[in-house]
Chain A
Amino acid sequence: MAIAAFITKRLIQGVFTVWFIATATFFAMHNVPGDPLLNERAMTEAIRANVEAKYGLDKPLGTQYLIYLSNLTRGDFGISFTQENRQVNDIIREHFPVSAILGVLAVLFAAVGGILWGALTALYRNRIPDYLIMFFVILGISVPSFVIAALGQLVIVNMNSALGITLFPVAGWGTLGHMLVPSMVLGLGTMAYLTRLMRSSMLEIVSSDYVRTAKAKGLPPARIFAKHQLRNAILPVITVLGPAIAAITTGGFVVELVFAIPGLGRYFVQAVQQLDYTVIMGTTVFYGAFLVFMVIFVDVLYGLIDPRVRMS
């Protein structure tokens, strides 16, 4: 019961947040200095009127906003400004799956790696493996994603030329080989962050009272690790999975750009650079809704795992 009410409440909050994002996006786009149609060639009065009518720009702002909202609720994001006759929906449908595959692989890589390395460092606290892993973690946290992406590309180029064969393609999309390096690059920063979190969470639990109790019960170390340490240590990692997904989604912008991956992120950045208003609005609202509901999903997941949250 409690959990259903919790989910409902979070969903209502989420819808409200998405509405705010949509509204903010709409007014931000209409606040852009300059005339969006000024760049168009051969803009006679008649053509201008036609174009304005096509995008609904001839109506007052309030009406435009209402039309925009009602279109949104029907899942219609409008037509691209720069690529006429292309629906924003089609753009999202075509490019988002690519970003999603990349993102899911990166999240998996980051979460599994983070938990594994974090647990390892805690078990080998203040010994060589700990120092070694933490050295890379601190590097992973401190090096910006685009540098990691560039380095990743450099490594592929050098490896390919050293081996004389194309082990991994340098850029593009299609095969698993295309996906592997970019998703690792994308997940690396988050993995470093999760490793750190997992380590401190494990260390706290290793010295916790209930692990001492488990030892006093005479349980074998493997059982203590699996039943008492790991499960409790993963909980804080799950709480930050929402922000981690957000970080990987936006980090995807850069990785897609560097590796020339035809994902929505790259498309979004291009749209922003070309001021393709409808595409910006559509993708922003889409990304916003995606992230907001991912965070809610993770929260609910956490609630299902942690009995303390589940019950209260």
Chain B
Amino acid sequence: MTPLLKVTNLAVEFSTYGGIVCAVRGVDFELEAGKTLAIVGESGCGKSVTVQSMMGLTPMPPGRLVSGSARLRGEEILGQRRVQGKEVRGAEIGMIFQDPMTSLNPTMTIGDQIAEPLQVHRGFSRREAFTEAVKLLELTKIPEAQKRAKQYPFEFSGGMLQRAMIAMAIACKPSILIADEPTTALDVTIQAQILDLLQDIQQEIGMAIILITHDLGVVARVADEVAVMYAGKVVEFGKVDDIFYRSAHPYTVGLRAAMPVNDPSRNHVLSPIEGSPPDLFSPPAGCGYCSRCPEAMEICATEAPPTKALNRGHTSSCWLQQDGAPHPESLFFNEERL
């Protein structure tokens, strides 16, 4: 069975005044209908660039698509505006962004902005689209939707704006919703509400979600599958349990150890990952994580690790997974070992 979305070997670079940045260096992942995929990684690892270039939102130039393909139900969407007669952006794939405060047009009412994709993709009249927009606002649990739809973004709070963004992204019932750090700019209390809302809507209209985040707590809460990205590559991909309990990459282990645990009895010590990610102006020849990796070997510095399938749907790009390599204790991290 073909997955809903299959991305292979996606690579994107940017030319800047300091040189060429290889922001994404060959990313692969798959997404199945109705499931939630989380892409995790620290700032600048290429999470947002991956999805934005997939959607054609990366300005080119300075950006450039080096290689790769992204197939929606087997059809290429990179560089295509329409697939099977449907618009990719807005109709097939909806998207919400990190900062709802700046992501909405300040001089247009919320209702009009939500109604826009309906007018464009569904051919609704202005009035019909606006009525539908009010319904969508109700669906995203905005009180007094009728009145709110006539207001402008500056009259909304951050959490409300993100709800409106969600309403806008799901207006045409897309098969995939991409949420690019949807809760980062919001209060912690609002974060949970937004995540719940996303899950409720997913249940209701049966769409898949790609959730980009650097918060492992969010991942644990909502994800079915997880792609861990580092320095422009997916270093580990697997089910959420694989990632959390059978971590097969030292970076995942490092992330896990740097995450706070809500259990006072465990006397947990946060251990940050020392150092900083490699300079992507001149990407390292070997593994990108090599300079920070506690288990680094000679081979890691010179040759990029191949991706190895571990068991069903769980892959890792690490030399430690190769035959003959030492097998450190810390890998296959699990709760009991702490």
Contact = CB atoms under 8 A, between A and B. Distances in A.
A and B touch in the complex (CB under 8 A): yes
Interface of A: 207-210, 212-220, 223, 227-228, 231-232, 235, 305-308, 311
Contacts of B121: 218
B107 to A, nearest CB: 6
Nearest to B104: A210
Given A232-B107, A308-B106, A217 B116 contact: yes
B155 A218 contact: no
Contact of B105 (A207, A214, A220): A214
Contacts of B94: 216
B88 A218 contact: yes
A207 B124 CA distance: 29
B97 A209 contact: yes
Given A209-B97, A209-B99, A218 B91 contact: yes
6 contacts: A216-B89, A217-B90, A217-B168, A220-B120, A306-B107, A308-B107
Nearest to A215: B57
Given A209-B99, A232-B105, A216 B120 contact: no
A209 B95 CA distance: 12
A311 B90 contact: no
B95 A216 contact: yes
A176 B225 CA distance: 72
B108 A218 contact: no
Contacts, number: 80
Nearest to A216: B95
Contacts of B88: 218
B55 interface: yes
A115 to B, nearest CB: 16
Nearest to B82: A218
B29 interface: no
Contacts of A308: 106-107, 152, 154
- Interface of B: prevailing SS: loop
A231 B87 CA distance: 26
Given A216-B55, A217-B90, A210 B102 contact: yes
B103 A219 contact: no
Interface string B154-191: 11000000000100110000000000000000000000
Nearest to B56: A215
A123 B107 CA distance: 21
A237 B1 CA distance: 56
Nearest to A213: B103
B101 to A, nearest CB: 9
B97 A218 contact: no
Contacts of B57: 212, 215-216
Contacts of A311: 152, 154-155
A219 B107 contact: no
Give the top 3 A-B pairs by smallest Cβ distance, nearest first.
Answer: A218-B90, A218-B89, A209-B102
B117 interface: yes
B59 interface: yes
A19 to B, nearest CB: 36
Contact of A219 (B56, B90, B99, B165): B90
Contacts of B169: 216-217
Count chain B CB atoms within 10 A of each CB in A215, A217, A220, A306 and give the residue with the most.
Answer: A217
A210 B152 contact: no
Which residue among B59, B94, B104, B108 has the maximum number of chain A CB atoms within 10 Å of its CB?
B108
A312 to B, nearest CB: 8
Given A215-B89, A227-B105, A227-B116, 8 more contacts: A209-B99, A212-B103, A216-B90, A217-B120, A218-B90, A219-B116, A235-B107, A307-B107
Nearest to A206: B59
Contacts of A307: 106-107, 152, 154
A207 B59 contact: yes
A209 B108 CA distance: 14
Interface string B110-122: 0000001100110
B217 to A, nearest CB: 25
Contacts of B120: 217-220, 223
Nearest to A205: B105
Contacts of A207: 59
B106 A210 contact: yes
Contacts of A227: 105, 108, 116
A231 B90 CA distance: 22
Contacts of A217: 89-90, 116-117, 120, 168-169
Nearest to B121: A218
A215 B55 CA distance: 9
A207 B57 CA distance: 10
A201 to B, nearest CB: 13
Contact of B103 (A209, A218, A231, A306): A209
Contacts of B102: 208-210
Interface in B137-165: 152, 154-155, 165
Contact of B106 (A212, A220, A223, A232): A232
A215 B102 CA distance: 14
A218 B106 contact: no
A289 B57 CA distance: 50
Contacts of A213: 95, 97, 103-105, 165, 168
Contacts of B152: 307-308, 311
A309 to B, nearest CB: 10
Contacts of B103: 209-210, 212-213
Q: Which of B91, B103, B168 has the most CB of A within 10 A?
A: B103
A218 B55 CA distance: 10
A218 B105 contact: no
A219 B94 CA distance: 12
